[in-house]
Amino acid sequence: MNSELVPICWYPPQLNEDSAASRKKEIGDLFVIQANKTNEEIVTSVINWFEDRQKFGGLIGAFLEEATRSSMTNERDRRISVNANKGLWARCDNCGNMLHVKFSKQNRSVCEERGYHLSMSSMERIELSIDPNTWIPLDEDMSARDILSFSDEDSHETRILLSQEKTGLTDAVQTGIGYPNGTLIAPGVMDFHFMGGSMGSVVGEKITRLIEYATQRLLPPVLIRASGGARTQEGTLSLMQMAKISSVLQLYQVQNKLLYISVPTYPTTGGVTASFGMLGDIIIAESKAYIAFAGGNKGRGQIYPDGSKSNNTVYTALGTGKIKRIIRKEGKGGYEIIIEESSGGCEAIDVVPPGPELIVSEGEFVKADQPLTNNPNKKQFEKVQLAEMNF
Amino acid sequence: MQIAMESAVLPASVSSAEQSLCSVPWRLSKHGSSLQRNGNNMLAGQGLMQAWKFKPEKRRTNMHVHAMLKKSRRKTPDFEYPWPVKFKPGDLDGSPLPFLSRFKPLPTPPKPVPLPFELPLVHIQKKIQEIRETANTTGMDFSEQLSELQEKYDEVRKDLYNQLSPVQRLSVARHPNRPTCLDHVLNMTDKWLELHGDRAGFDDPALVTGIGKMDGMSFMFIGHQKGRNTKENIHRNFAMPTPNGYRKALRMMQHAERHGFPILTFVDTPGAYAGIQAEERGQGEAIARNLREMFGLRVPIITTVIGEGGSGGALAIGCCDKMLMLENSVYYVASPEACAAILWKTAAAAPQATEALKITAHELVKLDIVDQIIPEPLGGAHSDPLTTSMNIKEAILGHMRDLLKMEPDSLLKHRVGKFRKIGSVREGEQLDPRFKRNMKPRDAPFNESDQHQLQIPSFVRENLERTLTTASTPAS
């Protein structure tokens, strides 16, 4: 029984060619089954859904696996894991469009609206590009060592072990040789999930060995990068990895005149951009990937190791007028500021998410683009927080 | 004109360039102007100079040229125009054209800024001053107490400066009065000429480059320049170079390689400038290109860290054969404040970050990144800049003597080897397979004949062999 269970969603799946706008209006279609299930089964499963609303993602994920287990004979497909969150619906970061995971996999994780490439784990990339039965990995067993005995809130070693367990990767890069479509190349794929893709001694050593191997065997390395920068916990050693990789590239590119292709993906910042990332003979970037050196958040905000971001943007008023009311939201916080426009008489509502502090109060007169929140960015150059992405 | 016809007779003051020109046959036209020769067979500039030197004595034309200076609207003198109105005798000796440089001795000597850990010294100094004043006013003899206090001062100072913690060393490295790159260079060199411009339309005040002569040998000096007071700091952008600076440095290094003189770099930057204009002009690419090209330069490179070394911005001119550091300087991958903000989530944890990151010179020597530590005089470099410069000079010349004996090829290998061994990993032990569940295992079939090689199709092999033959021909 080929039961294709299309799960509950707020937007019906992309089976017809309606535009996005019309799709969003149809909130009626809750449960679409194309299987031969009995009515009782439907009712019980709907009730289950209502009860386990909190476990939405996990439940439906389990349904999917069970339902499609027969079709997933190929081990390869199973390895292409669901995109980051356990749910079945991924949101495109660029246009906010919801993408069903199965269809997005067919599209290789490219959003249909505007062609934004969603982030993929390194395993996915290798699976999708390398032909089966041709992959030879290099240096699989290399793992990081805590040389500086660095310990902030957690010791560095425990952090590495936690990351390794959580992501199932030994370190942030996978290197090897393989045949995509019949040409032999030496790809190295970095992964953002492992400690933010940070470049430490292991990454440096692996990539250096890959390029040395490629020099001997005359293969082109293709390095796919997704990194946040250098690993601060390894200190100056991770800085020297930049130099190490560039030195090997010098031998490879300039003196042996071989080809090196670099593929920056989302996000690529910091030390990786400043070393081998920008040295490719050909640089092919993914559409709308965030490639920077210091990033737009320089001095203005941090991304903590667990992925949460600090919110340091300054919110400005939408229109000129008097502030009518400030509503403080429950739960996490955040504000809604209702401004009565002096010109039109209509109201403009500014939504400020939790985090920043307000510097205006009720009854004040504000002009358009006047800052409503304080500016936490420190402007002293001596203590410049060359933060977010270290380089 | 007789001077031209007899090419053998040359006035003694003619330089070698002009001598070579005189051997080119040239005819003087009737009108006595040698400007016509410019189009024919001369270098343009030289021709004009010839014209001015060998002016014909008789003017045969009746042409008179009148020129009138346009009345300029500028009432105030043009400050950009650096030539002084009257040349003083001291202006022309020493380094060439010193009045062109923006780096003049400060009008007021810098104020001594005591660091927070130097408070006991400040107290003792105050007491000494008080006693001296009372001695002057009352006339009584306090010399015993004075000498006692002076001894105590020296002792405390020695104790303090011999055991500086990393946080204290960081504050000494960032001291506002610390001698900058140009201070050191002007102390060390006999002759110095600063060169500007990256040949792409911009110049960068944060990175200074130039050619200097030390002990009769010329070197290319490249370094980050901090300002000595706030105004200069703003002009120099706090020693945070933009991509223009790195391209300028690269051009100078290639010049040095072409003409065969060694390169000395001085690192003193909090990091590369990270504004939006720098991003637009390709900051990452500039640094990456510098990193790659520096490993192909066939002349010795020695880097000295004289202040703070801020990650990529410092590494872009710091890929060297030997790295030296001043005793109180630091080299980090991310400034302790940034590191604290990310890992500890508060900027107040900066002292802990400084201790944990291991950024001081002594710790880096243990990690085998730095080759030698240059001792600073007691009290830090800012208390005695001349001695510091002389120490640096000695250390540099010692290393340079060794490096100059090496062949260029072995020099390159040595440089790559120095960086190749930095970094330590753990390998060889079998890892828990749970840690590898998301890494693709080996797929290709095992072939007994060649373990690590896959079957290469014939056209691929031909292609590769063609690249091999072109690669083995000497590089153009």
| A387, two tokens | 């933060």
Q: What are phi and psi of B444, to 5 degrees?
A: -70, 150
Least confident residue range of B135-144, B146-155, B282-291: B135-144
Cβ contact, residue pair A385, B335, below 8 Å: yes
Q: Residue B347's beta-bridge partner residues?
A: none
Gap between the Cα atoms of B219 and B213, Å rounded: 6
CB atoms < 10 A from the CB of B131, how many?
15
Gap between the Cα atoms of B42 and A82, Å rounded: 74
* pLDDT score of B165 more than 70: yes
The CA-CA-CA angle for residues B391, B396, B400, to 5°, reads: 155
> Helices H, strands E: what count in chain A?
9, 15
Select the residue of B357, B416, B440 nearest A235 (Cβ to Cβ). Answer: B357
pLDDT digits (tens, 9 = 90+) for B390-441: 999 999 999 999 999 999 999 999 999 999 888 888 877 777 777 777 777 7
**CA B452 from centre of chain:** 45
Who wins on pLDDT, A167 or A28? A167
Contacts of A236 (CB under 8 A, 6+ apart): B331, B332, B333, B358, B359, B364, B367, B369
Q: What is the mean pLDDT of chain A?
A: 67
Select the residue of B319, B470, B475 nearest A255 (Cβ to Cβ). Answer: B475
Residues 65-84 of A with CB under 8 A from B: 79, 81
The answer to whether the beta carbons of residues A35 and A1 sit under 8 Å apart is yes
d(CA A74, nearest CA chain B) in Å:
14
* Predicted interface score ipTM higher than 0.85: no
Q: What are phi and psi of B425, to 5 degrees?
A: -130, 165
The answer to whether the beta carbons of residues A258 and A212 sit under 8 Å apart is no
Taking CA–CA distances from B438, the nearest residue in chain A reads: A168
Gap between the Cα atoms of B45 and B435, Å rounded: 71
The answer to whether the beta carbons of residues B188 and B231 sit under 8 Å apart is no
The answer to whether the beta carbons of residues A304 and A261 sit under 8 Å apart is no
What pLDDT is stored for residue B71 in this prediction?
A: 64
HEC readout, B400-421: HHHHHCCCHHHHHHHHHHHHHC
Taking CA–CA distances from A164, the nearest residue in chain B reads: B435
Say if A190 is an interface residue toward chain B (CB within 8 Å): no
pLDDT digits (tens, 9 = 90+) for B170-226: 888 988 889 999 989 988 988 888 899 888 888 889 999 999 999 889 999 999 999
Select the residue of A183, A240, A298 nearest B419 (Cβ to Cβ). Answer: A240
CB atoms < 10 A from the CB of B257, how many?
19
Q: Where are the domains of chain A?
A: 121-294, 300-388
Superfamily of domain A121-294: 2-enoyl-CoA Hydratase; Chain A, domain 1 (3.90.226.10)
Gap between the Cα atoms of B182 and B224, Å rounded: 9
Gap between the Cα atoms of A232 and B356, Å rounded: 10
Cβ contact, residue pair B427, A142, below 8 Å: yes
Gap between the Cα atoms of A301 and A316, Å rounded: 18
Topology of domain A300-388 in CATH is: OB fold (Dihydrolipoamide Acetyltransferase, E2P) (2.40.50)
Residues 5-44 of A with CB under 8 A from B: none
- CA atoms in the 13 A half-sphere facing the CB of A285: 12
What pLDDT is stored for residue B300 in this prediction?
A: 95
Mean pLDDT of A149-155: 74
Cβ contact, residue pair B431, A303, below 8 Å: no
| B56, two tokens | 């014909």
Say if B366 is an interface residue toward chain A (CB within 8 Å): no
Select the residue of A133, A169, A235 nearest B438 (Cβ to Cβ). Answer: A169
Say if A267 is an interface residue toward chain B (CB within 8 Å): no
Select the residue of B337, B338, B416 nearest A247 (Cβ to Cβ). Answer: B416
pLDDT digits (tens, 9 = 90+) for B76-98: 555 555 666 666 666 555 556 66
Say if B417 is an interface residue toward chain A (CB within 8 Å): no
d(CA A252, nearest CA chain B) in Å:
10
Cβ contact, residue pair B424, A134, below 8 Å: no
